[in-house]
Structure 1
Amino acid sequence: MIKDTSAQDTVLAPPLVLKLKLPLLLGGAGLLVSALVWASFGRDSASVSVSGEELQMASLRMSTLTRDIATTGKIVAANAPILYATEEGTVTLISQPGDKVEKGAVLASIDSPKLASNLQQQQAVLEGLQSSLERARLDARRDQLQANKALDMAGVDLAAADRESRRGDQLIENGLISKIDYEKAKDDLHKAQLMFAHAEKETNLTKDTLTFEIKNKELEVNRQALVVAELQRQVEALQIKAPVEGIIGNWLIEQKARITAGQPVLTVVDLSAFEAELAVSESYADELGLGMDVELSFGDLTVIGQISSISPEVRNREVTARVRFEQSQGLKLRQNQRLSARVLLENRANVLMVKRGAFLTSGGAQLAYVVKGDLAQKIPVKLGARSMSDVEVLEGGKAGDVWVISSFEALQNAEQVRVR
């Protein structure tokens, strides 16, 4: 009985080729997988390719950053006074709007019968006071003459009494008169002396009194003269004159209109001095200051001025600023002429900066692409102050780096972009 066929089996050794085939296949598969993984990583790191002609690039540099504000404005007259009526009356406008006028020329006149009548009345009062003053001076001379006459008469009486007294002295020594007659002569002398002394005092008092009264009369005349002078000034002010040389701006009332005191009549524009009036966005209002330099552009000409005034209020989201500047014949300025301006806020020396571009909005001012060779790498950055042409770089770059400053739209927000 046969149990199995094991006695008939023969063990055969596998060929050498078959022994090496399996390790070779496994090794090749590993190399293929590694190549695919490497290719995958390479494709992910630079998945976008952009032509360099589509991008704008700029190098970071150390320089002086000038912060400024770009704005527009117009030329306005530095001096454009409004002339007002000084009294109530009927106005007659003499000069037409646009007429050139000299300083002091009569532009309008006001007819005020009330003021004219008042002036005439006060002039009559002045003339009456002046007549009273002259009369008082004549009376003073007369009274002074009477006082001097009384003094002279007292002097004559004193001289006569003194002579009689001396005669009495001689007669009493010779016993030719009685003692009573002698004493009477002495009494007459004493009386004459008293009368002369009182006459002298009366004369001085009369002189002082007359001087005082005349002075009061003169003060009354002077006071009334001031009243008349003021009324004459008001009458002269009815002739409205040009305070400056220039042109008539606008009539603010109609011809032959009835006006009240203080009502505006017309404007005069001084063409000898101009200022620039700028409209600055309210977001920069807190940064404006008096005396700041402003670069004004009139076509091909550029001048430097200084801010002279800043409006305290905001209108239409703008703040109005006035700029004074040196003027020359070459400017040929006109009222309301348009201009462009650049307000120079500050200068920062030794600042790392790069030219402004669309990358500020594309990256939200927090991202940038730095170009190294043919790759553009996205990096986080921190930016600072900005001017019209440059922006300060605080973090994320160094001098000599090249950044993409155009829009990031073509870069598709990739981490790395190949620039060809």
Structure 2
Amino acid sequence: MSMIRDTSGQDQMVQHKPKKLKPVLLIAGVLSLVTWAGYAMMNTDNVSQSVDKAQLQIATVIKGDLVRDIATTGKIVAANAPKAYSPEQGFVTLQVKAGDSVEKGQVIAEVESPELNNSLKQQESELARLQGELARSELEARRQTLTLNKTLDMAQVELSAAERENRRAKLSIEKSLISQIDLEKAVDDLAKAKLTFKHAQQEVELAKDTLAFELQSSQSQVARQQLVVDELQRKVRNLNVKASVSGIVGNLLVQPKAMVTKNQALLTLVDLSAFEAELQVPESYANDLGIGMQVELKMGTELVIGTLSAISPEVNNREVTTRVRFNQSDISNIRQNQRLSGRILLENRSDVLMVKRGGFMNAGGYVAYKLSGERAERIEINTGVTSINHVEVLSGLAQGDEIIISNYDTFKNADAVLLR
């Protein structure tokens, strides 16, 4: 009987060798170690936020010229846009339409005033009456002057006769041809004739002065009435309303053939040769504005330089209205109410430490996140004046530093953030 053999004779001793770690597992272990070390370091440095660097705005602190300015918007307005008014009460006839071109002195409206025309005719009639009375007074003065001269001449003749009789009496008394009584009578007659002639001279002079006064009074009445007529004639001529400037008709303020009152506005005119810009400035900048400041205006693709010429003393809708006068007169292709943007240059500072303006100013400009490698640390800073593009840095940063200028609301006041 044969026996079954076991397999012990077939077994062989095999020596166990340790397996080598694959390179992939080794790299994974190193990365895990580095990650653990990084988180450990973050915990040590109080880093509680991690943000994507690509989503942030980063700017470098530089030195240069900072132009403090204000960005505004506005429109083109006519510097000279007068209104035409009705000179009297009446019915108006408009000779132009809105948008028509007009020349200075052109009749643009006519006002029909029957009352004024009737008053003119009455005063002209009164003037004619006074002129007639003046002519009659002049004739009467000539007549009275002739009578006065006649009286004076008769007195002169009587005086000459008395002088002649006096001489004859003296000669006759020497030859004893007449008595002493006749001589005395001749002397009395001469004295009487002299007195009569003297009084006649005085009466003539007084009468001539009276006539001259009355004549001058009549002339004054005529002159005064002439002024009244001239004024009414001027008012009648002004019923033809004329354009005060050359330009275009703006808005019609009354309907044709409408009844208008004295000094009622009829229409507006726009002087195309004189334009200004009207800008709206936020009231927070009102105290920084000053007459004469330089302004850059952009109308489409054209850049125009102007000067601040007027500042409104009141605030409307939290804005202050300003006027800008153009420094150049050869501006073309501009129209009334054309929209534009502007930049008012408040101040120009040289060699200023500054950084690009961004959302970080919403925090008040007292803190910033300064870049240090792959992290940003929260630091305190002081800022000064701002412009449209830059903000002045007074302290806390140096030239060449990089800071995050994005909004800091997502940082939650963390002392440091990790940039990934």
Q: TM-score, normalised by structure 1?
A: 0.84
After superposition, residues 123-134 of structure 1 pair within 5 angstroms as 123-134=124-135
- In structure 1, the partner of 2:66 is 65
- In structure 1, the partner of 2:83 is 82
- In structure 2, the partner of 1:365 is 365
Equivalent-residue separation in structure 2 for 1:249 and 1:325 (angstroms): 22
Shift of 1:388: 0.4
Q: Report whether the alignment pairs 1:297 with 2:298.
A: yes
Equivalent-residue separation in structure 1 for 2:234 and 2:39 (angstroms): 101
- In structure 1, the partner of 2:206 is 205
Residue deviations 1:352-405, cap 9 Å, x none? Answer: 2221122222x4422112234555332111212211011121221233333232
Equivalent-residue separation in structure 2 for 1:340 and 1:46 (angstroms): 47
CA contact under 8 A between 1:301 and 1:331: conserved in structure 2?
no
Shift of 1:213: 1.0
- In structure 1, the partner of 2:276 is 275
CA contact under 8 A between 1:50 and 1:410: conserved in structure 2?
no
Shift of 1:327: 4.2
Q: Could you tell me which amino acid in structure 2 is paired with residue 135 of structure 1?
A: R
Report the CA distance shift for 1:329/1:372 in structure 2 as closer, same or farther (over 3 A): same
After superposition, residues 172-321 of structure 1 pair within 5 angstroms as 172-321=173-322
- In structure 1, the partner of 2:386 is 386
Q: Could you tell me which amino acid in structure 2 is paired with residue 316 of structure 1?
A: N
Residue deviations 1:58-81, cap 9 Å, x none? Answer: 333343332211111111111111
- In structure 1, the partner of 2:154 is 153
Shift of 1:106: 0.9
- In structure 1, the partner of 2:3 is none
- In structure 2, the partner of 1:405 is 405
Shift of 1:170: 1.3
CA contact under 8 A between 2:307 and 2:327: conserved in structure 1?
no
Shift of 1:342: 0.9
Shift of 1:174: 1.7
Q: Could you tell me which amino acid in structure 2 is paired with residue 353 of structure 1?
A: M
Equivalent-residue separation in structure 2 for 1:51 and 1:256 (angstroms): 74
Q: Could you tell me which amino acid in structure 1 is paired with residue 398 of structure 2?
A: K
Equivalent-residue separation in structure 1 for 2:274 and 2:39 (angstroms): 75
Residue deviations 1:116-154, cap 9 Å, x none? Answer: 000000000001111111111111111111111111111
State the secondary structure of the residue aligned to 1:76.
strand
- In structure 2, the partner of 1:415 is 415
CA contact under 8 A between 1:281 and 1:317: conserved in structure 2?
yes
CA contact under 8 A between 2:92 and 2:258: conserved in structure 1?
yes
CA contact under 8 A between 2:56 and 2:406: conserved in structure 1?
yes
Q: How many matched pairs?
A: 384
Shift of 1:93: 1.1
Equivalent-residue separation in structure 2 for 1:37 and 1:418 (angstroms): 14
Q: Could you tell me which amino acid in structure 1 is paired with residue 327 of structure 2?
A: E
Equivalent-residue separation in structure 1 for 2:44 and 2:411 (angstroms): 14
CA contact under 8 A between 1:79 and 1:270: conserved in structure 2?
yes
Residue deviations 1:141-171, cap 9 Å, x none? Answer: 1111111111111111111111111111111
Equivalent-residue separation in structure 2 for 1:365 and 1:127 (angstroms): 86
After superposition, residues 88-99 of structure 1 pair within 5 angstroms as 88-99=89-100
Equivalent-residue separation in structure 2 for 1:193 and 1:409 (angstroms): 125
Q: Could you tell me which amino acid in structure 1 is paired with residue 199 of structure 2?
A: H
Q: Could you tell me which amino acid in structure 1 is paired with residue 196 of structure 2?
A: M
Q: TM-score, normalised by structure 2?
A: 0.84
Shift of 1:417: 4.7
Q: Could you tell me which amino acid in structure 2 is paired with residue 149 of structure 1?
A: K
- In structure 2, the partner of 1:339 is 340
Deviates more, 1:369-378 or 1:388-397: 369-378
Shift of 1:314: 2.6
Q: Could you tell me which amino acid in structure 2 is paired with residue 45 of structure 1?
A: D
State the secondary structure of the residue aligned to 1:311.
strand
CA contact under 8 A between 1:248 and 1:266: conserved in structure 2?
yes
User: Runs ≥4 in structure 1, deviation > 6 angstroms?
Assistant: 36-39, 48-51, 409-412
Equivalent-residue separation in structure 1 for 2:341 and 2:221 (angstroms): 64
Deviates more, 1:200-209 or 1:57-66: 57-66
Aligned-residue RMSD, C-alpha? 2.4
User: Which segments of 5 or more consecutive residues in structure 1 lack a partner in the other structure?
Assistant: 1-35
- In structure 1, the partner of 2:377 is 377
Q: Could you tell me which amino acid in structure 2 is paired with residue 236 of structure 1?
A: R
Equivalent-residue separation in structure 2 for 1:322 and 1:240 (angstroms): 30
Residue deviations 1:237-282, cap 9 Å, x none? Answer: 1111111111111211111111221222111111111111112222
Shift of 1:408: 4.2
CA contact under 8 A between 2:354 and 2:392: conserved in structure 1?
yes
- In structure 1, the partner of 2:5 is none
Equivalent-residue separation in structure 1 for 2:410 and 2:182 (angstroms): 149
Report the CA distance shift for 1:191/1:375 in structure 2 as closer, same or farther (over 3 A): same
Residue deviations 1:74-131, cap 9 Å, x none? Answer: 1111111111112111111111111111111111111111110000000000011111
Report the CA distance shift for 1:417/1:317 in structure 2 as closer, same or farther (over 3 A): closer
Give the % identical residues: 53
Report the CA distance shift for 1:264/1:409 in structure 2 as closer, same or farther (over 3 A): closer
Equivalent-residue separation in structure 1 for 2:88 and 2:350 (angstroms): 61
Shift of 1:331: 2.9
Residue deviations 1:175-214, cap 9 Å, x none? Answer: 2111111011111111111111111112211221111111
Shift of 1:283: 2.3
- In structure 1, the partner of 2:144 is 143
